[in-house]
Amino acid sequence: MIKKALICGVSGQDGAYLSKLLLEKDYQVYGGSRDAQASSFTNLKRLGIRDQIDVVSINIIDFRSTLQTIMKVKPEEIYNLAGQSSVGLSFEQPVETLESISIGTLNLLEAIRFSGQPIKLYNAGSSECFGDTGEHKANEETAFKPRSPYAVAKATAFWEVANYREAYNLFACTGILFNHESPLRPARFVTQKIIGTAVRIYNGSREKLALGNIEIERDWGFAPDYVEAMWLMLQQDIADDFVISTGTTTSLREFIDITFNELGLKASEHIVINKDFMRPTDLKAGHSDPSKAFNKLGWKAKATLNDVIKCMIDSELLLSKTNLNDLEKVGSNSLI
């Protein structure tokens, strides 16, 4: 029988790529959004799959809405990718961040328990929960030391999932994902800001790329690789949590250099440091150990950072020459 999956947060980067993956695996995909009638679902359109998704309105902060949707759809799998997703924005909107992530996750868990259905739940966790680990490569046993409202919310959701798994024997797991990028990354994220500005400069703009702390180091992967790990986690016999990452750490400065070099530009000629972009607290570096995912899931990141940056640049160059309708006609090859 065809499996049914409900993706909460289908409008985002990961939701769109996960939808594409599940469709390729012959799932019936239900895409959850707060207001399915008003949402544009731009990312689904960019991947050329909007018409293949059954969109439903669901507000996971509202328990009644959550339970009603689950009882109506009756999915075998639920992917919780919803909630405020920006670390920087979480300092400006801490209450909304905590509610959308922690209460939303709790409502999903409680609704699954109340429904009595054998539903498997994937919860999107974050490496931000680890805080600063120095040179230590964080794994599933590393203690959480969150340093932002976003990280606090994600840590809360992680322990909610662990508690319901133990207390009620639910199949619920968290993927502790390190940074992962793609052409679908929103412009407010620093990686997409770098790519977009560099491409505009390449096309003749005289603007400068204004950034905060460019000495931070992160483990950057490719979103289409990471959604495959999400799916694999729900195909296991026993629910478990996994660190999902490449295992390679790169500085933001190097990310910038790779981007500008790819376009034949010299980064130092186009960057200005603006203290207004500095966060109240930030992580100096993120190091990871994804060996458990390889050993138990058989998963390993395929794309290198250079691959990711090139893909994002190619897509941005194409986007700058076309409109969305034209991009849909071209297809999604530039986005995967």
Per-residue pLDDT tens for 177-210? 999 999 999 888 999 999 999 999 999 999 999 8
User: Would you place residue 250 in the very low, low, confident or very high pLDDT band (cuts 50, 70, 90)?
Assistant: very high
Question: What pLDDT score does 88 carry?
Answer: 81
333 within domain boundaries: no
Residue 331 has a pLDDT of: 54
Q: Is pLDDT at 329 greater than 70 in this prediction?
A: no
pTM (global) more than 0.75? yes
Tell me if residue 150 is catalytic.
yes
Candidate list 76, 77, 128, 316, residue with the active-site label: 128
- Kindly name the residue from 11, 33, 85, 126 that is annotated as catalytic: 126
Q: What is the DSSP string of 131-189?
A: ---TT--B-TTSPP---SHHHHHHHHHHHHHHHHHHHH--EEEEEEE--EE-TTS-TTS
Q: Render pLDDT for 107-120 as a digit per residue (tens, 0 to 9).
A: 999 999 999 999 99
Q: Look at residue 38 in the predicted model and tell me its pLDDT.
A: 74
pLDDT at 133: 87
- Determine, yes or no, domain membership for 267: no
Question: Domain with 113 in it: what CATH number?
Answer: 3.40.50.720
Which pLDDT belongs to residue 334? 60
- Mean pLDDT, rounded, of the chain: 92
- Strand-pairing partners, residue 174, are 123
Q: Does residue 327 register a pLDDT over 80?
A: no
State how far the Cα of 314 lies from the Cα of 316, in Å rounded to an integer.
6
Please identify which of the residues 17, 79, 150, 202 carries the catalytic annotation. Answer: 150
128 is annotated as an active-site residue: yes
Inside any domain, residue 192: no
In a domain, residue 318? The reply is no
Calculate mean pLDDT across residues 82-102.
89
Question: Per-residue pLDDT tens for 39-88?
Answer: 889 999 999 999 999 999 999 999 999 999 999 999 999 999 998 878 88
Active site residue 126: yes
Burial label, 187 (beta-carbon count in 10 A; 0-12, 13-18, 19+):
exposed
Domain count, the chain: 1
- pLDDT, residue 62, reads 96
CA 228/CA 222 separation, integer angstroms: 11
Per-residue tokens: 105:
């996750």
In a domain, 31, yes or no: yes
Establish if 261 belongs to a structural domain: no
CA–CA separation, 211 and 87 (whole Å)? 15
Question: How many CB atoms are closer than 10 A to CB 201?
Answer: 18
**Site of tokens 């500095």:** 278
Q: What is the pLDDT of residue 284?
A: 76
Q: Residue 84: inside a domain, yes or no?
A: yes
Average pLDDT estimate for 219-244: 98
Quick: pLDDT tens for 266-288.
999 998 887 776 666 567 788 99
Please name every residue paired with 195 in a beta bridge, in sequence order, or none if there are none. none
Whether the per-residue pLDDT at 216 is higher than 70: the answer is yes
Residue 57's domain spans which residues? 4-184+222-248+287-303
pLDDT score for 5: 98
Residue 27 lies in a domain: yes
pLDDT for 75:
98
